[in-house]
Amino acid sequence: MGAFILRRLALAVPSLLGISVVLFTVLALAPGDPFAELATNSNVPPEVREHLRASLGLNDPVASRYLHWLVAMLHGDWGFSFISRVDVSTLIWQRVPVTLGLIGTSQLLALAIAIPVGTLSAVKPYSWFDRIASTIALAGFSLPTFFTGILLILVFSIKLDWLPFVYRSDVEATGWHAVVEHVRQAIMPVCVLGLFQGAGWTRYVRSAVLDVIRLDHVTTARSKGLAERVVVTRHVLRNALIPVVTLVALQMPTVFGGAIVTEQIFRIPGIGSLLIDAILRNDTPVIMGVTFVFSVLVIVFNLVADLLYGLLDPRIAYR
């Protein structure tokens, strides 16, 4: 298992480098020169400007600029925010746990919906349950997160006044009350993200289970006299989950996109809303930092999916 993890980690390095190249290329191709202001300022003589550019390495060839940038990024030296004058890395690390918590809980909710519903649909395909579940899944999958968020706010915050619609990290309560408040304000964001993903994954689980349930080993398990429950959970589901894990990993970029939107709607102080704020205020170092963190997170989740894959299918793990 250890060697397997190491090999996967080694495979993640080229994709990380690839992403860093893409990020740097986008930045290098972008119009706008940090020295544009100096160029138009007649008080700065051209030779001083040239000297400044040279001392900051702006005249170096692209490759060496990329290397400098990459080394700085890997050292955690991400520069300062233009707006708040705080280290970009401090700013981001403060907010990463919130985002991860939101994504984690909503993914659990999504799986808790998708696996049972998808399996039940596939066990009795074209039954009433399957038809209704499939239609609802397709509808839920077509409801964009920003609209679900607005609908939930309209119903549960404005009409019914049950849940708060602005997420606050400093709840004015202690002990149990604080816990209850935190749960209450997390319900809507987690539902928005979890229901959307759950709807999409229900479709995956259904088709994966449908593929497996026709196989011979399932018939064998049934003819051994195993209870249907055991057949479905132990012989069908475990095999069906293997392609589902791959699809879930492929969906991670979408999940992060949904998290950005959700954080923006409910004003959750995570890295998604940090990104939007930074873009609206032209805070380039923060934008680069957050994009980089998102890229790393996607790769990390892909890695986790690979490990799960190994756990679910022993043939892969020890090959």
Partner 1 sequence: MASSIPASPTASAPGAASPWREAWRRFRRHRMAVASLAVIALLVASVVLGPLAWRMPIDAIDFSAMTQGPTLAHPFGTDDLGQDLLARMLYGGRISLAVGFAAMAMAVVVGVTVGAVAGISRGPVDAALMWLTDLFLSLPQLPLLLLVIYLFREQLKGMFGPEGGVFILIVLVIGCFRWMQVARLVRAQFFSLREREFVEAARALGATPWRLTWRHILPNALGPVIVAGTIDVAAAIIAESTLSFLGLGFPPDIPTWGRLLFDSKDHLDIAAHWALFPGAAIFLTVMAINFVGDGLRDALDPRRVLS
Minimum distance from residue 147 beta carbon to partner 1 (Å):
4
Question: Least distance in Å: CB of 142 to partner 1?
Answer: 4
Return the number of the residue (27 or 308) whose C-beta is nearest partner 1. 27
| Residue from 144, 179, 234, 316 in contact with partner 1 (CB under 8 A) | 144
Q: Which of 72, 45, 42 is nearest to 57 (CA)?
A: 72
Query: What is the Cα–Cα distance from 215 to 213, expressed in whole angstroms?
Result: 6
Tell me if 154 contacts partner 1 by CB under 8 A: yes
By the rule CB under 8 A, 275 interacts with partner 1: yes
Decide: is 34 part of the binding site for partner 1 (CB under 8 A): no
Residues in the chain: 319
CA distances from 130 to 19, 83, 191, 212, 303 (A): 41, 52, 22, 17, 33
Q: Are the beta carbons of 75 and 166 closer than 8 angstroms?
A: no
For the CB of residue 48, give the shortest distance to partner 1 in the complex, in Å. 27
Distance CA 270, CA 293 (A): 12
**Pick from 95, 231, 299, 310: which binds partner 1 (CB under 8 A)?**
299
Q: Figure out which of the listed residues 186, 208, 244, 297 binds partner 1, where binding follows CB under 8 A.
A: 297
Contact status: 104 vs partner 1 (CB under 8 A): no
Site string for partner 1, 217-256 (x = CB under 8 A): ---------------------------------x-xxx-x
Task: List all residues 6 or more positions away from 107 whose beta carbon is below 8 Å from its beta carbon.
Answer: 194, 197, 255
Residue range at the interface with partner 1 (CB under 8 A); choices 21-29, 41-49, 90-98, 308-316: 21-29
Quick check: 89 binds partner 1 (CB under 8 A)? no
Rounded Cα–Cα distance for residues 277 and 221 (Å): 56
Interface with partner 1: number of residues (CB under 8 A): 51
Question: Which of 7, 18, 93, 219 is the binder for partner 1 (CB under 8 A)?
Answer: 18
Pick 22 or 112: Cβ nearer partner 1: 22
CB 146 within 8 A of CB 235: no
> Kindly report the CA angle at 153 between 174 and 202, in degrees rounded to 5?
100
Distance between CA atoms of residues 185 and 263, nearest Å: 12
HEC secondary structure over 44-55:
CCHHHHHHHHHH
Calpha distance 171→304 (Å, rounded): 33
Which parts of this chain interact with partner 1 (CB under 8 A)? 14-15, 18-19, 22-23, 26-27, 30-32, 135, 138-139, 141-147, 150-151, 153-154, 158, 250, 252-254, 256-257, 260-261, 264-265, 275-276, 279-280, 282, 287-288, 290-291, 294-295, 297-299, 302
